């Protein structure tokens, strides 16, 4: 997708991953994977955890949603999202979700693996 939009992935990787980064590989038990990025200007600690995985799993970890109007509380639309995920599942379609969390200074080490 990045190539389609004319984005050089290697430049982004060098800027946001750095030499030492934490990656949580996909695990079929957790049904998600994650990577901690660094140098994120809009993050208070400049570190952000990005997660990709089974929609129903990722959704349960979320308290807010990014909409065209900005960041909002997810409570208002969580049931609707669950219904949409279930509808796709009845049609034998798998969905994935993307989420992120800005990490505090005491988060984001290898020790996060236990809570991920």
Domain contains 30: yes
| pLDDT digits 0-9 by tens, 28-51 | 888 999 988 877 777 777 788 899
Q: What is the pLDDT of residue 41?
A: 74
Q: Grade residue 116 by pLDDT with cuts at 50, 70 and 90.
A: low
Using a cut of 0.95, tell me whether the model's pTM lies above it: no
Helix (H) or strand (E) run with residue 4 in it: none
| pLDDT digits 0-9 by tens, 1-37 | 888 999 998 888 887 776 667 788 898 888 999 988 8
Domain contains 51: yes
Domain contains 63: yes
Domain contains 85: yes
Q: How many helices (H) and strands (E) would you count in the chain?
A: 3, 6
Q: State the total domains in the chain.
A: 1
Domain contains 89: yes
Average pLDDT, the chain: 85
Domain encompassing residue 104: 9-108
Q: What is the CATH number of the domain that holds 31?
A: 3.40.1110.10
Q: Is the separation of the CB atoms in 67 and 46 below 8 Å?
A: no
Backbone dihedral region for residue 71 (phi beyond 0: left; psi -120 to 50: alpha; all else: beta): beta
Structure tokens at 1: 């997708």
DSSP string for 31-60: TEEEEEEE--TTSTTSEEEEEEEEHHHHHH
Q: What is the pLDDT of residue 59?
A: 96
Q: What is the pLDDT of residue 111?
A: 52
Domain contains 2: no
Helix (H) or strand (E) run with residue 102 in it: strand 96-102
């Amino acid at each position: 997708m990045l190539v389609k939009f004319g984005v050089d992935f290697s430049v982004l990787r060098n800027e946001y991953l750095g030499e030492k980064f934490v990656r949580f590989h996909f695990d079929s038990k957790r049904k998600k994977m994650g990577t901690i990025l660094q140098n994120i200007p809009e993050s208070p600690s400049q570190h952000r955890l990005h997660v990709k995985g089974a929609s129903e799993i990722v959704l349960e970890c979320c308290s807010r949603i990014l909409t065209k109007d900005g960041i909002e509380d997810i409570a208002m639309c969580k049931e609707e999202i669950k219904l949409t995920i279930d509808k796709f599942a009845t049609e034998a379609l798998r969905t994935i979700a993307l989420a992120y969390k800005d990490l505090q200074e005491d988060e984001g080490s290898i020790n996060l693996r236990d809570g991920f």
